[in-house]
Structure 1
Amino acid sequence: MHDINPISLYHKLFDEMGPQHWWPADTKMEIVIGAILVQNTNWNNVDLALQNLRTVTGLDPKQILNLSVARLQQLIRPSGFYVNKTKSLLSVLGWFNDHHYDFSGMVHQYGPKLRHQLLSLTGIGEETADSLLVYVFDQPAFIADKYARNLFQFLGCRHIETYAKLRKRVRLPVDFDYHDAQEFHGLIDEFGKLCKTKEQFRKSFLNGFLLQQGLKSEIKK
């Protein structure tokens, strides 16, 4: 299997769709909270939970940490799985609090081990960890979420059924910075909302598009 060079896809999506300005949040800590709440649900449900938290705490992580477990569960209930998400929020926000919300300092402290450290926190899986790297810690990373896996499968890639498999295959250019990573993720997800099936994909501007480098042997004829 060959590595996937996604740069031509990124430029094609950007040219056709324009900048997406993701993540939908006002602060980095709101991104952290949203990234936990959005697990296994849709953003409409997250919005309801965020609004509850905003009304009671102003989304101040220190005020959230001061809530009782029962109260926090009640506030985030619209996002689903609220018992586990409460545990995750308290764990993750507590970790940030211990580091005084010093994002650049945390990058300096953990270096290349930052992703591993994130994965060690309660409730943080690969997709959430990479989302935090890109949107909170300003690190270039590829977020191989369900929309990305669907798109790359539509484009002819094989053996990318899981998050880890696609992430391992994608090789970002050395000059691909976190701004690019944010836009790429937003573009892929917005495209994915419009093209959920092969039939919809065939009617899209990406029909017939070939990824760069190393995929010719994999494209389904």
Structure 2
Amino acid sequence: MIPVVEVYEQLKRNMPERIWWPAESEWEIIIGSILVQNTNWANVEYSLHNLREKTQFHPEKVAALPLEELQDLIRPSGFYINKGKAIQEIFFWLQDFTFDLAVIEDHYGTNLRKQLLSLRGIGEETADVLLVYIFDGVEFIADRYAQRLFTRLGVEGIEGYKKLKHRVYLPEDFSTAEAKEFHGLIVDFGKEYLKNDTTWAASFLADFSFDPLNS
């Protein structure tokens, strides 16, 4: 298992603090987590702007949008047909619980991740984002930035989301706030230092090494 807390502490010590996920409500996070699939955040922002203008991210208004109108609003994010269907399905599901996130969490308990994965358009990464940012869970989000980071740190055999996630150890006392911060720090680090060999060599983690017995 990879002792990732050492990396978290280095990131926290050397990176500026800021709030992640960049959104004003849980509903905006849910939508953003679907829209960002297979595109960049700049495109997502156009779609979020359109939805904000139309619905103010009131969940009842999002759920009430006709599918074709929803798809047109999110067109800038690409794959808008499938993403529109995914957003509609998850908001119909939330509507079944009158948009009460605490009730949903209590209803599914430890099966919540499995339930999220059963929804259209919700894969491993999106499910973990929702667990951490919406349902206050503690999960390691093994996204592409995380995979690139730990590959740079010399960890082998972590190609793909599941392989890295299964290698990660988070201590039992790791909090939701720390899980959010860890994810955000990795993304920020990746944007600044994981561009190429030169930026990596200039980073404060370039000389970091794991105890081989622990990784």
TM-score normalised by length of structure 1: 0.93
Partner of 2:210: 211
Q: Is the CA contact (8 Å cut-off) linking 2:63 and 2:95 kept in structure 1?
A: no
Quick one: distance in 2 between partners of 1:214 and 1:112?
A: 31
Within a 5 Å distance, the mapping from 1:81-92 to structure 2 comes to 81-92=79-90
Of residues 160-169 and 203-212 in structure 1, the stretch that sits farther from structure 2 once superposed is 203-212
Within a 5 Å distance, the mapping from 1:161-180 to structure 2 comes to 161-180=159-178
1:201 equivalent to 2:200? Answer: yes
Q: Is the CA contact (8 Å cut-off) linking 1:149 and 1:160 kept in structure 2?
A: yes
Within a 5 Å distance, the mapping from 1:109-124 to structure 2 comes to 109-124=107-122
Distance 1:213 1:175, change over 3 A: farther
Higher RCO (CA 8 Å, separation ≥ 6 residues): 1
Within a 5 Å distance, the mapping from 1:56-205 to structure 2 comes to 56-195=54-193, 196-205=195-204
1:24 to 22, 34, 39: 22
Q: Is the CA contact (8 Å cut-off) linking 1:4 and 1:213 kept in structure 2?
A: no
Q: Deviations over 1:13-38 (max 9, x none)?
A: 00101322100001111110111111
Q: Is the CA contact (8 Å cut-off) linking 1:50 and 1:76 kept in structure 2?
A: yes
Displacement after TM superposition at 1:202 (Å): 1.4
Quick one: distance in 2 between partners of 1:20 and 1:187?
A: 9
Question: How many pairs are equivalent?
Answer: 214
Quick one: distance in 1 between partners of 2:21 and 2:137?
A: 14
Q: Is the CA contact (8 Å cut-off) linking 1:36 and 1:85 kept in structure 2?
A: yes
Displacement after TM superposition at 1:214 (Å): 3.1
1:8 to 1, 6, 9: 6
Distance 1:154 1:51, change over 3 A: same
Q: Is the CA contact (8 Å cut-off) linking 2:59 and 2:99 kept in structure 1?
A: no
Q: Which amino acid aligns with 2:198?
A: E
Of residues 151-160 and 106-115 in structure 1, the stretch that sits farther from structure 2 once superposed is 106-115
Displacement after TM superposition at 1:213 (Å): 6.7
Q: Which runs of 5+ in 2 are unaligned?
A: none
Of residues 50-59 and 178-187 in structure 1, the stretch that sits farther from structure 2 once superposed is 50-59
Of residues 205-214 and 142-151 in structure 1, the stretch that sits farther from structure 2 once superposed is 205-214
TM-score normalised by length of structure 2: 0.96
Identity %: 49
Paired residue secondary structure (2:182): helix
Quick one: distance in 1 between partners of 2:139 and 2:118?
A: 18
Quick one: distance in 1 between partners of 2:98 and 2:169?
A: 33
Q: Is the CA contact (8 Å cut-off) linking 2:32 and 2:44 kept in structure 1?
A: yes
